[in-house]
Structure 1
Amino acid sequence: MSKGPESRVFSAPCAVFIPPGTAHGFHFAPNSEGIVATVLADRLSLPLATDRALSAFFSQTRIVPVDGVDAGEGKHIDHLFRRILAESMEGSVGRDLMLDAHVTEVLVWLARAGARATLPDDGGVPTRDSGRLQMLETLIAAHFREHRSVGFYAEKVGVSVAQLNRIARQEAGASVTQLLARRLVDAARRDLIFTPTPVQAIAYSLGFQDPAYFNRFFRRQTGTTPGAYRETERRRLVS
């Protein structure tokens, strides 16, 4: 039995995020003002794939009040939306790249504001395991290019390899090895799309001694080669 449509009430100032593919409609009060930004789903894929917290936050419709955030932060969010509007109306060089950058920044600011607005009554004090996951993610960010073993990270966090994998699967839904692979792929994607660096040089910069192995690794993780991925994504940027 299908559910009927859900109605949600919101008031300004706020930002509303609606995930791709979600049927929706609005009924605005007279004299309402605002900006509607429609972003193609493939333009959201890279920033949401890059950060687990962003992906989780924007997996559903979100209404983020802006009046409760820091005044400077609220003005910055408003400024970003206006920059998106201005860029979309201009034909300047690099417009699509600038729009992607502004959209990514908007997503990050809204997720941060939304997370603070929905903290639990206990103040959102992290559990021991969530704290260990944050430590792991910090370590991965610092060392992922070095291709360290899982044991290296377990020792730094102060737990066994089995414990660290349990924490990673419980808190992040992936093993430590999978988290490391994701970080390498995310870095590779950014370099492939936004830099002219040759694939071979990208491989070396990510700690791969053999560019051919990097190609196999990337294809195993994404289903395509680095060269084909770069070509496809750059065509999307200029379309």
Structure 2
Amino acid sequence: MEATANIPHYYLYGDQGADVELDLLNIEIIRERSGPNDWRIRPHAHPDHMQVLLVREGGGTIRMEELTLTIPVPGVLVIPAGIVHQIDFNPGTDGFVVTAALGCLKAAAASDPRLLDAASRAAVYSLEGTGVNIAAVTDTFYWLHREYVWSAPGRRTAILAQFMRILVVVLRLSITQEDPRIIAPDRDYDLLARYRALLEEHFRIERSPAFYADALAVTPARLNAACKNRAGKTASDLLYERVTIEAKRYLVYTESSVAQVAHMTGFDDPAYFNRFFTRQVGISPGAYRKQVAGSHE
């Protein structure tokens, strides 16, 4: 497979847009995206999102990194963030694809670290002979899709609840099936994963890539190279994105003032926070809050 730096990075396959609901998820029906693409999903990666697929009928093959596997039917596929993958579906294949932001994954897995661990391992699982109730698994994906397309009260909570059920299914499959994992073959992926974990711990107070490089026992140049290769972004880009996502959450989901949001995201100077946010997003924090509020009226 060609170098990952030359492989497209998407939120959704074929979608270059970056203005997405970064801390939630998307679910769609397999045939709706794969059919128009001649049932072939060409090599790509999702730097900030992971995927869980339920293949109900059809099948095909999936290549994750250097390993190609047959897709079992019915089966569940787990594609962690950053894993380069290609899928060749048999014509007529159907099921669901969940694309979840890492923040959404973290929120849904907060009650049990094993959920996060199972969702972070690339794997292909058959549902046959596992003891897992196939009808219940299908129903969970179906209801997640239904909640996603509805605009009913409690939509976000319902979506997270159904996604948590899917993660429980993944956890149980990981326990019942022997060695289903596809291990990422290079150190760049491992370094990026450890960098993201450190960001979660320190992004509010540590804004220097040199701090993270030192904590990871690598040079800043080495950290940058891994981030560019596996995420298509610099270490600073990923750090600033993480800060911006947190600021957006506070602006959208709390009534805190802009000055309070600045403090909660680690800025001593609200004016500097305003400049930072405007540079990252293109509009001021106050304007962003009004824009999002207006879009949900």
Shift of 1:97: 3.8
Matched position secondary structure for 1:82: helix
Q: Is the 8 A contact 2:58 2:92 kept in 1?
A: no
Q: 1:6 is matched with which residue? A: 38
Aligned mate of 1:160, from 219, 228, 232: 219
Shift of 1:76: 6.0
- Deviation per residue, 1:145-193 (Å, 9 max, x gap): 0033211111111111111111111111111111110000111111111
Shift of 1:209: 0.7
% identity of equivalent residues: 28
Alignment gaps of 5+ in structure 2: 1-35, 41-56, 60-72, 77-90, 105-123, 175-179
Q: Structure 1 stretch 206-215 or stretch 126-135: which is displaced more?
A: 126-135
Aligned mate of 1:226, from 285, 288, 291: 285
Aligned mates of 1:212, 1:75 — CA distance in 2: 51
Q: Structure 1 stretch 81-90 or stretch 183-192: which is displaced more?
A: 81-90
Q: 1:85 is matched with which residue? A: 146
Larger Cα Rg: Structure 1 or Structure 2?
1
If the length of structure 2 is used for normalisation, what is the TM-score? 0.50
- What is the 5 A alignment of 1:99-178? 101=160, 105=163, 109=167, 123-178=182-237
Q: Is the 8 A contact 2:213 2:219 kept in 1?
A: yes
Q: Which has more strand, going by share of residues?
A: 2
**Superposed CA RMSD:** 4.6
If the length of structure 1 is used for normalisation, what is the TM-score? 0.61
Shift of 1:77: 6.8
Give the paired residue count: 194
Q: Which has more helix, going by share of residues?
A: 1
Q: 1:20 is matched with which residue? A: none
Q: Is the 8 A contact 1:150 1:176 kept in 2?
A: yes
Alignment of 1:213 onto 2:261: no
Alignment gaps of 5+ in structure 1: 16-25, 38-43, 52-63
Alignment of 1:200 onto 2:259: yes
Q: Is the 8 A contact 1:88 1:99 kept in 2?
A: no
Aligned mates of 1:73, 1:129 — CA distance in 2: 36
Decide whether aligned partners of structure 1 residues 160 and 73 sit closer, same or farther in structure 2, where only a CA change above 3 A counts. Answer: farther
- Deviation per residue, 1:8-65 (Å, 9 max, x gap): 87377579xxxxxxxxxx9799xxxx9x99xxxxxx9xx65968xxxxxxxxxxxx98
1:82 aligned partner, one-letter code: W
Decide whether aligned partners of structure 1 residues 194 and 102 sit closer, same or farther in structure 2, where only a CA change above 3 A counts. Answer: farther
Q: Is the 8 A contact 2:147 2:158 kept in 1?
A: no
Q: Is the 8 A contact 2:188 2:226 kept in 1?
A: yes
Shift of 1:96: 4.3
